[in-house]
Structure 1
Amino acid sequence: MATSTPEELPSSAMTDEDYGAYRASAALWAGTSVLITDQQGKVLVQSVDYRDTRLLPGGAIDKGESPAHGAARELLEELGVHTVVDRGLAVDWVSADSSGAPAAMRFPGELIHVFDGGTWNDEQIAAIRLPESEITAVDFVAPARLPDLLSPADARRALAALRARINAAGTVLLENGHPIAPTSLDRAGILRTPRARHHFTFHTAPVPDTLALRQSWGWVFAPDGRILLLLEPDTGAPCLPGGTPEPHDHGDATTTLHREAIEEAAARIARTTYIGYLSDPAASCARARYAAVLTAVGAAPVDAATGRTYIRVLATPEQALQQFDWGPAAADQLAAVHQARHRLGIPRAAQQPVTELASPITW
């Protein structure tokens, strides 16, 4: 019987040589990947001179090297960047029969450690220096493009790591890129479809009379400081509660928000407060934004307008923003959201995993 750790002595049925040979026969390769994003949430991918598909930065771990040191070394070799890599996002077990490696390679399977390389600003990106060979180009691409650019397994791994970063639940375990314990973000498949690009200017002033009100959405706070976020079940696309004004709302944007929150999420809200609007020059309209307090959530309804039953989750405002493509003005809106949260007497949410609201609850 084999022992479970190298510190234990082999059983009397195995010699040291036999035990060493047994463990060597079960050995796997070890590799690293590093997930780096820009400030718009796009992922850094590399073009290389030895394969058609793109890759995240990373590579094989050298003999006697730790995964974190290997990841930092690869960033220096491939991007010319000195950095400390100290946060894991995922560990992926890649089976021997899943890679399509040539038989002559005798691929035994691999453990790939995916690390968080952080969010890079323009100065960090400008500091990238490519080597003379191997890496031919780097690009930042939308998460939804990863399946088109990377191999299927690499894309699954990258998206799972990106969801783990958003979820703030620690390092996740994968098997061939699939989470062994999928979260609500994994089940919804967030970021696998293109994010709607809404780079609109945010204003804290009242909506001008010259602009038609096209939309009324709310940052609806639970008592712990997280907000209600709705995920479309077929695409994983996120949205805040709210929608388009209807005639029976009588021009009252708060009535629109309350009605839509009930229709979309069976959510009841109170203490609604205006925070600003987004101007959409192409449509000459305004999109109002409110903050409110979430008081109850009923059984998940079918939204009459879309025919969908949304996946309802609680997320920090920062976790929510990572799922949208709202451009530079998103920071202005987030600041206004936290100011409104403070006025409502709601605490700032602690960093924690996204939680699905599957059952009715009242606060």
Structure 2
Amino acid sequence: MLITDRHGRILIQRVDYRTTCLLPGGAVDADESPAQCAARELQEELGVTTTVDRGLAVDWVSADCLNAPASMRFPGEILHVYDGGTWDDEQIAAIRLPDREITSVEFVEPARLPGLMAPGDARRALSALRARINAAGPALLENGLPIAPTVLDRALRTARARHHLPFHVGPVPEQLSVVQVWGWLLAPDGRVLVLLEPDTGAALLPGGTPEPPDRGDPFITLRREVCEEAAAEFGEPLFLGHLCEPDNPYARLRYAAPLTRLGPPPVDPATGRTHIRILATPEQALELFDWGLPATDQLTAVHQARARLGIPRAARQPLTELPDATDLTTM
């Protein structure tokens, strides 16, 4: 079972019979379906009763990857990963561990899994997480790797940058210096433009740092950075608000604007690299960041701006890579 908290961290278990961590779950009993097994194991291991009705991944584990006697190795093993959902504080507080086997549980960043789990277990868990975010149905895996990779398989390779900064919808106080301007650029179908670093897969919104030629105008900063990073153009932006650190006199501005054009993917002059450009629903985009609970307020502001711009709410769908110049009027 893949279970996350509201910060997008994954629930793992430490057990008394191995040195690596596991997702909740176990072996199927006689005359038991995989889904029934998942529900039973969750009850036995965490004391939680739940309905198991959504699969995330089916993994064929080859005989060579099994740590089992030769007589048990052929023809390999089939492992199912089900969606346990996103748990709130009340559900987490209801966890009750058994007297033996499960020694502790914790929620960890997805990028930490390869250091905490056996290689195949980590690959399987991350593939299941990507399948959940991508909303394209269960992933078919071989030894934890998807047989049909998607653009999202490039993401979550590194730890998501942690920015649990409060979001304020009001104007920026005069004593704060603007150090960052980012944009939620909305395509005509309601999805937003997200950039992935080509080497790490880390996600970011288009935008960046003010420079002297911008003359202190955040609009100029946003247009310049969006052009340099994504070869994108947008209409009149709406101010959403700003983030600030309690002990630092800095502000990070957030805007929303209609995305109007995408040219060929450019080489970012600041980094010398070409970002991977994708479209995702605003909710999917947030799952690629570690912005904490304040992100909920920012998401609300994005949808309010989207409604003001007359742009529909995007249906959850697979993330789409935009490798070439794109005519957005066809969406």
Query: For this structure pair, what is the TM-score category when the shorter chain's length is used for normalisation?
Result: over 0.9
Matched position secondary structure for 2:182: strand
Deviation string 1:169-203 (CA, Å, 9 cap, x unpaired) is 111100000000001011x2x22211111111101
Q: Which residue of 2 aligns with 1:199?
A: 164
For the Cα contact (< 8 Å) 2:151–2:319, is it kept in 1?
A: yes
Say which of 59, 67, 72 aligns to 1:100.
Answer: 67
For the Cα contact (< 8 Å) 2:66–2:73, is it kept in 1?
A: no
Instruction: Kindly indicate whether residue 79 of structure 2 is the aligned counterpart of residue 90 of structure 1.
Output: no
Name the amino acid aligned to 1:233. Answer: P
Instruction: Kindly indicate whether residue 129 of structure 2 is the aligned counterpart of residue 162 of structure 1.
Output: yes
Name the amino acid aligned to 1:234. Answer: D
CA distance in 2: counterparts of 1:105 and 1:64, whole angstroms: 19
CA distance in 1: counterparts of 2:73 and 2:258, whole angstroms: 59
CA distance in 1: counterparts of 2:160 and 2:227, whole angstroms: 25
CA distance in 2: counterparts of 1:196 and 1:76, whole angstroms: 34
Question: Structure 2 regions of 5+ residues with no counterpart?
Answer: none
Say which of 264, 271, 277 aligns to 1:306.
Answer: 271
Matched position secondary structure for 1:125: helix
Q: Which residue of 2 aligns with 1:153?
A: 120
For the Cα contact (< 8 Å) 1:101–1:107, is it kept in 2?
A: no
Instruction: Kindly indicate whether residue 303 of structure 2 is the aligned counterpart of residue 342 of structure 1.
Output: no
Q: Moved runs in structure 1, 4+ residues, more than 2 A?
A: 99-108, 280-283
Deviates more, 1:311-320 or 1:202-211: 202-211
Instruction: Kindly indicate whether residue 215 of structure 2 is the aligned counterpart of residue 265 of structure 1.
Output: no
Name the amino acid aligned to 1:90. Answer: A
CA distance in 2: counterparts of 1:255 and 1:166, whole angstroms: 33
Instruction: Kindly indicate whether residue 47 of structure 2 is the aligned counterpart of residue 54 of structure 1.
Output: no
Q: Which residue of 2 aligns with 1:325?
A: 290
Instruction: Kindly indicate whether residue 197 of structure 2 is the aligned counterpart of residue 232 of structure 1.
Output: yes
Deviation string 1:130-169 (CA, Å, 9 cap, x unpaired) is 1111111111111111000000000000001001111011
Q: Which residue of 2 aligns with 1:5?
A: none
Matched position secondary structure for 1:92: strand
Larger Rg: 1
CA distance in 1: counterparts of 2:71 and 2:80, whole angstroms: 25
Q: Which residue of 2 aligns with 1:352?
A: 317
1:108 offset after TM fit, Å?
3.9
CA distance in 1: counterparts of 2:248 and 2:322, whole angstroms: 35
Name the amino acid aligned to 1:163. Answer: R
Q: Which residue of 2 aligns with 1:41?
A: 8
CA distance in 1: counterparts of 2:72 and 2:88, whole angstroms: 39
Q: Which residue of 2 aligns with 1:21?
A: none
Name the amino acid aligned to 1:129. Answer: R
Name the amino acid aligned to 1:221. Answer: L
Deviates more, 1:339-348 or 1:99-108: 99-108
Instruction: Kindly indicate whether residue 78 of structure 2 is the aligned counterpart of residue 111 of structure 1.
Output: yes
For the Cα contact (< 8 Å) 1:199–1:329, is it kept in 2?
A: yes
Matched position secondary structure for 1:295: strand
CA distance in 2: counterparts of 1:106 and 1:314, whole angstroms: 42
Q: Give 1:246-257 correspondences, 5 Å limit.
A: 246-257=211-222
Matched residue pairs, number? 328
Say which of 163, 170, 181 aligns to 1:216.
Answer: 181
Question: Structure 1 regions of 5+ residues with no counterpart?
Answer: 1-33
Name the amino acid aligned to 2:251. Answer: A
1:109 offset after TM fit, Å?
1.0
Query: Cα RMSD (Å) of the superposition?
Result: 1.1
For the Cα contact (< 8 Å) 2:214–2:220, is it kept in 1?
A: yes
User: TM-score, structure 1 length as denominator?
Assistant: 0.89
